[in-house]
Chain A
Amino acid sequence: MMLTLTDLLVASIALAVPVLVAASGELVGERAGVLTMSVEGMMLTGAFAAVVGATSSGSALVGVACGALAGLLVGVLQAVLSVTLRADQIVTGIAANALALAGTTFGARLLLERGTEVPGFARVAVPVLSEIPVIGPVLFRQTGLAYALIATVVVLGVLTSRRTGWGLAVDAAGEDAASADRSGIAVLRVRFGAVLVVGLLSGLAGTQLALSEVHTFTDNMTAGVGYLAVVAVIAGSWRPVGVAVAALVFGLAQALQFTLPALGVDVPFALLVMLPYVLALLAVAGLVSHSRPPSGLTKPFVRLGRAT
């Protein structure tokens, strides 16, 4: 019994890390006023590029670099569409997801061979700490990449807090772009940068999924995790800690689909697969938190309001 609880938590954390990383990026983007729906596509592209990079070079680190770069490239595409061209953020985001799905599926046929060994990250047990019952295996037996990504998320959270000029600029650009502009903030630059952060982190989240967990690329392997990251930002009330908690809850909900059948609980598997998305729907419907999104979310910025 004890073992099973530990297993559940281990699986939860493993599944929560990609959501957490992508959601932390998405949080920055949304606080700056850009709703990036293409997190899913960025993750998928990141996962694909990471696997291609790792297999062709034989180095997992090269894979990480490729995954990050690929996410960043989709981020550039999304930023040009959403920020520079002021296109509809939701529509272009979903289009980017469709493009990423088709592109990576096609690319996998072209570049990846089934059964090839993918260099990845093995779990590293932190000495002493990993021996603590329950907590040890759950928290201190992650892959090196996972530790690095969690550290990245924490650093990002600090750098974009309201204690820094960057954090203030991000919040101002998302909350009241006109005022931010009049205060001397380059709103478009801040937003563009924020979307690049979303791309970078999402690409890394996809990399984590591919190189730390699955150790290969399969078609549509993200399967909606990117959307969960978008929802985690809403459920977490646009606050870093709230977003982290939401990511963990989604991780747990995903983990249940593996552990409950193992426990012999007779629940249809399909229902368990649905669970995270049912939670997501409830969260988006405002049943989890009543907080307000940034006022400028999804609103493109035009100086003076009249572009003539």
Chain B
Amino acid sequence: MSTTHPPADAGAPGALPGSRTSITTVPALALHAVTRVFGTHTALDSVDLEVAPGEVHCILGENGAGKSTLCNIVFGALPPTSGEVCLAGEPFAPSSPSDALAHGVAMVHQHFSLVPTLTVEENLLLGRGRARLRPDRRGLVVRLAEIEETLGLHVDPRARVGTLSVGARQRVEIVKALLDRPRLLLLDEPTGVLGPDEIDGLLATCRRVAAAGTAVVLITHKLAEVMRVGDRATVLRAGRVVGTGPLAREHGGGRSVPAPSGPTGSEPSWRDEELLEAGDLVGLMVGRDVSSLDPLLAASVGVTRTRAAGAAPAHVARRTAVPDDTTPPVLAVHGLVVETPDGARRVDGVDLEVRPGEIVGIAGVEGNGQSELVAALSGALRPAAGTVRLDGQDVTRARPARRTALGLGVVPEDRHHEAVVAGLSVTTNLLLARLHRFRRFGLLDRRAMRAAAAELARRFDVRAASLDAPVSALSGGNQQKAVLARELSLEPLRCVVAAQPTRGLDLGAVDDVVAHLRATADAGVGVLVVSSELSELLVLCDHVHVAYRGALSAPVPTDAPDARERVAHLMTGAAA
């Protein structure tokens, strides 16, 4: 077995010559007209899908397109309303995840399936049907060594999961999914929490797992990853399959497809199907022409058809008002320290300045103090040392309401818990920061509120069936637009702090958020964006700091040709 030196992508016919797939073999997973209805909402609408053994099949789609619902049906967490699922040709109707696991279906969950208070070993032993009284610890050790040898995935069985970094937890999650040699591996948005190097490792693992004959289903909204790792892709929009086909992969062919003479071309290629390119996928996902997307953003996610594609961000007129260094900063942070109750420094001496009209980014893998920094800026946490000045005024210990009055808009990281009151109406949420302005005779003037909310919803394109419906009825993208509408329409508005503003949003919504933040900066407001999406920061910001272990790097100007490399390097903790 040539497993000690696994190729990064398993092009060479290796361990399992018989498993090389052709489309005539029985698909590992097949969905026929699968439909799932939640109340009045059809999450999946007659979806057909086939995944061959040994194939990496990517499922793309906007948020709410039904990707996770599909995964949950196959994993037994949710029964379909109608339709049939087949596993290796046999009808398959799992009643629970445990049932699916018993049938060789494993899943890597977006938010993991690990119990933080247990050790890695205990988590790996969890729920493995037989041997209830005495778990097979020795067998686990053997299997872990095997996985480490073939896939290069190392985990420390004795570590407590709660103490591991996100990347290490992800590794445990994958090892856990692979323990029982699944026939089908589902990965639900697995790269959302990872740094660039960890993403590379994960994608390589996907290829190796597929090379051993496992069918791999990768759910993602990141096109660059799809184009690097996928064999085929299926695009979902509003619960329907809007496109499916083999991918024109960038880095050489991984599968034993008879190599088409050219990556594209008019001549019929493999199986008479057009090879999908990144541009096609975006068009399918968003349902509108790619050229209407912000060209820089589109380029950054790998849409190669746009004119602006190039190694360095093209010098398109990105900003109208570029501030100069002499303008006094609207947000000035000096020596800021935030400590946890037990004295650990989560923010460790941060200096930061944002000038009017400037967009400053903070990049970094999550958990490097970004959340605590934002909490200190918004007034949710009291810093242990340092100062925060807003428009020259010291607000280090000011209440959030005073900061709002001075013109600080905050788009919090955790939309559900910090940004919206889920049970209140869209109208109330939109106007939450200034309800006092609608007081009439001590009561709220509903009519004026509705009018104001309708105007905001129009300006920020918040799509709601009714503005009186609870905000929780909106899609994630529309909720985020509602939060932006509230925070960006503050009067006065001097500075905006946006934490992970595009988290969990689809490409169309990301585009809208980016456009709103840009317009705000162009109006002379200082904007600070904290994000783990490096591509977006490079497109959006004038310069980018990198957060690492509570400290910020010196700013990296994004118009430098090597900005991406420098920032990615800093994210690993290397000194500039």
> A residues bordering B, Cβ < 8 Å?
159, 162-166, 168-169, 171-172, 175-176, 178-186, 295, 303-304, 306, 308
Contact = CB atoms under 8 A, between A and B. Distances in A.
A185 B98 contact: yes
B83 interface: no
B117 A182 contact: no
A303 B77 contact: yes
A172 B118 contact: yes
B13 interface: no
A31 to B, nearest CB: 11
B96 A186 contact: yes
B122 A184 contact: no
A164 B133 CA distance: 5
A183 B132 contact: no
A186 B127 CA distance: 8
21 contacts: A162-B118, A163-B134, A165-B125, A168-B126, A171-B118, A175-B116, A176-B116, A179-B114, A180-B127, A182-B77, A182-B109, A182-B113, A183-B97, A183-B126, A184-B101, A184-B128, A184-B129, A185-B127, A304-B72, A304-B78, A308-B39
Given A176-B116, A186-B96, A165 B109 contact: no
B132 A166 contact: yes
Q: Which 8 A-B pairs have the closest CB atoms?
A: A182-B113, A184-B98, A184-B127, A165-B132, A185-B127, A183-B127, A184-B101, A179-B113
A303 B77 CA distance: 7
A183 B120 CA distance: 13
B107 interface: yes
A180 to B, nearest CB: 7
Nearest to B132: A165
A164 B113 contact: no
Given A179-B114, A304-B77, A185 B38 contact: no
A306 B118 contact: no
Contact of B127 (A164, A169, A175, A303): A169
Nearest to A303: B77
B102 interface: yes
Given A166-B133, A306-B38, A308-B38, A171 B127 contact: no
A44 B559 CA distance: 76
Interface in B24-83: 38-39, 72, 75, 77-78
A239 to B, nearest CB: 13
A24 B134 CA distance: 21
Nearest to B96: A186
Contacts of B167: none
Interface in B118-174: 118, 122-123, 125-129, 131-135
Contacts of A306: 38
Given A164-B134, A304-B78, 5 more contacts: A171-B115, A176-B116, A181-B97, A182-B107, A308-B38
Contact of B102 (A166, A168, A184): A184
A162 B137 CA distance: 12
Nearest to A186: B98
Interface in B363-420: none
A193 to B, nearest CB: 12
Contacts of B438: none
A168 B72 contact: no
B92 interface: no
Contacts of A181: 77, 96-98
Q: How large is the interface on B (under 10, 10 to 19, 20 to 34, 35 or more residues)?
A: 20 to 34
Nearest to A306: B38
Contacts of A303: 77-78
**Residue from B101, B114, B115 having most chain A Cβ neighbours under 10 A:** B115
Interface string B221-263: 0000000000000000000000000000000000000000000
A171 B162 CA distance: 14
A183 B109 CA distance: 10
Contacts of B127: 169, 172, 180, 183-185
Contacts of A295: 117
Given A168-B126, A172-B126, A182 B97 contact: yes
Nearest to B112: A179
Contacts of B75: 182
B75 to A, nearest CB: 8
Contacts of A184: 96-98, 101-102, 126-129
Interface string B174-204: 0010000000000000000000000000000
B507 to A, nearest CB: 25
Given A175-B118, A308-B39, A165 B96 contact: no
Given A182-B97, A182-B107, A165 B115 contact: no
A171 B127 CA distance: 11
A165 B38 contact: no
A213 to B, nearest CB: 34
Interface in B485-504: none
A183 B113 contact: yes
Contacts of A180: 115, 126-127
B141 to A, nearest CB: 16
Nearest to B117: A175
Given A181-B97, A186-B98, A165 B133 contact: yes
A180 B123 CA distance: 9
A173 to B, nearest CB: 9
A178 to B, nearest CB: 8
Interface in B256-284: none
Nearest to B122: A168
A179 B131 CA distance: 20
Contacts of B116: 175-176
B353 to A, nearest CB: 40
B118 A168 contact: yes
A183 B114 CA distance: 8
B77 to A, nearest CB: 6
**Residue from B39, B101, B117 having most chain A Cβ neighbours under 10 A:** B117
Nearest to A176: B115
Nearest to A178: B113
B122 A162 contact: yes
A179 B177 CA distance: 13
A159 B132 CA distance: 10
A100 B78 CA distance: 39
Nearest to B119: A162
A304 B132 CA distance: 26
Contacts of B125: 165, 168
Contacts of B112: 179
A159 B134 CA distance: 10
Nearest to B130: A165
A169 B126 contact: yes
Nearest to B40: A308
Contacts of A163: 134
A15 B129 CA distance: 40
Nearest to A172: B115
Contacts of B39: 308
A169 B132 CA distance: 9
Contacts of B114: 176, 179
A308 B43 CA distance: 12
Nearest to A294: B117
Interface in B88-115: 96-98, 101-102, 107, 109, 112-115
A260 to B, nearest CB: 41
B170 to A, nearest CB: 14
Nearest to A188: B96
Nearest to A159: B133
